[in-house]
Structure 1
Amino acid sequence: MYVFHYYYLVIIFILLVVAFLLGRYFKKKTDKLQTALQATNEQLSSIFTYTSDAINITTVDGVLTYINPAFEQMYGWKKAELIGKPLPIIPAALHGEEQRVRDLLLTGNSVNHWEGSFLRKDGSFLDVEVTVSPLRDAAGTVNGFAAITRDISEKKQYEQKLIELAFYDPLTGAANRRSFYLRLAAAMETAKEENLRFALLYLDCDRFKCVNDSMGHDVGDELLKQFVARIQAILPASATLFRLGGDEFAIIYERPSSDAEITSLADRLLAALRENWLIQGHSFETTCSIGISLFPQDGVSQTALISAADHALYEAKDGGRNLYRFYTND
């Protein structure tokens, strides 16, 4: 009887020792896990605090629950102004896109590389790239969104500069020869599909070489800039000016209502460009010659239409300059 009780006591003692040792073991593991989690939280907090990317967390209804210092710096609002309030950075023009993004997030999908111009507190716009991910509760239900925003304004400016170099004349700002051929092809395609007419005007600054040779290239360059500015001030919205090179320009005039409207534009161009020029202390007069061809009657290909306008320009120059001529078969 006593032996039986003894064995029970030994077993209980052993179990207590094992439980104690296991408790100490699991406590050490728990302490290590807590220490690791704390270190991880501190690292994440440090990343959120010192990253240059703006981070914000919202509820599914768009109410802000967290922003980091980079968000404050990027958009201009302070945390106290925003927490508990709707996210104010999405402009009205992007509300439709915002709803599409929200619908994707609610299905559990992330949205990567969403680019747009977002609002700053001062009313200015900032070009950004945003990655948004859904947040879930313990049951797996989406209960919020976390967004990381990167300022890409320098990237956009660089891209815009590349576009300008590729498609615009660096001296005058007018569209260049490459743009001309692209736009001419598009205008011809539209005119064919919709049974429309359009005009191609070739322009030449009369005696430009004399200005360059007698007054210098600086004066010549400034003349070209002002030449373009005067033309741009006259052109209707459906007409586009191109600098083809040197003092040679072209205008694609789409959807003119009549030949009289084309003639009226040519008259106004001649009048504006014959007015006196005052550049770097030099006062002088120069004029413009214009050759005009019409699509489709003067050609249904780029080569034919350009050749017709060029022939008409030659006739205007041969006729004494400061004139416009329509192309004719004669």
Structure 2
Amino acid sequence: MQMKNALLHVEHERRYLHNKLQELKGNIRVYCRIRPPSPGVHPQQLAEIEYPADDNDVDESLCQAISISKELPSSEYLQGQTQARNKTSYTFKFDKVFGPSHQNSQVFDELSQLVQSALDGFNVCVFAYGQTGSGKTWTMSHPGDGMIPLTIHKIFDDISDLKQNGWEYSVEGQFLEIYNETIIDLLANGSGDTKYDIKHDDINGKTTISNLRTIRLNSAQEALMLFNKSALNRSTASTNSNERSSRSHSIFVLNIKGFNAKIGTSCEGCLNLVDLAGSERLNNSQAKGDRLKETQYINKSLSCLGDVIYSLGQPKNNHVPYRNSKLTYLLKHSLGGNSKTLMFVNISPAATNFNESLNSFRFATKVGNTKRGSGIRK
């Protein structure tokens, strides 16, 4: 009994310290990532973007600044925010800025600690935001080293390591998309007539979706095979912004349950890995017909996401408009409460995308300015 109590104390202390570290970094944090230029693009076709050097010695307690500038016509010169060399500049600060030379594996180093939070019983939401073609899917789903494949490998590696401490885990996966405010099960083989209802357990901070297929995952290889196969079902279409544009929000859900018989404790966390549909202004995409309808749904749901996160930073009695979109309603318990939220804002370096990049920076700043209270594991 004395040994059991000692182990229980050590385990609780470890989880407490890990959670405190995550709170210090921010229960809501924003990382900016600049996509490398496309092959063959002339330097004059790139926006002027200044960001921190790729330095491993950067103080993690400080935000990092990034600025974006463009030349002004002489008629607009006096209207610019910065009257220097006939250009206008905008500066933003985020928790971390990754330049074009950063690899996915380096980006994942920052995310990996939140995977541990999910194993410890917290709800975690990771999502990539940005205009069409800014590198969101590359960041989240690139085979081998995207955030989702690397997360899957880490989860099962950590589960294997934790067995020696008496932990036994079960992992269940779900994969869905939200297309035009309609939930589509990417794991299902049936017709599209199935109705999916989102249900919340507000006491325990859990969310379920009726009729959504759930698969028990026993290994990283099994999970990756399932993810890669199902990802091919995602709704895509051609727009003027990108020849193969994601037209839906895809959400890969991992429900993780752990039990330790040695110390008589259990935990349950949910990890939502979200590749958002590309944000784009209608005058840029020139969408028509079905593409116009899709773009309107996408932009509305992204706006709702920003409103929800902003509301979370207001006084506790403030209304949080989760129900304004299927996306925010589904993610209710992974955005609010004691959850951890990480946003990647993906930026294209092309000068033609200056205004879209500016909109992405502003959205990300709105998210980053939201602060939430300390987390308490349930």
TM bin, normalised by shorter chain, reads: under 0.3
Structure ranking higher in helix proportion: 1
Which structure has more relative contact order (CA 8 Å, sep 6+)? It is 2
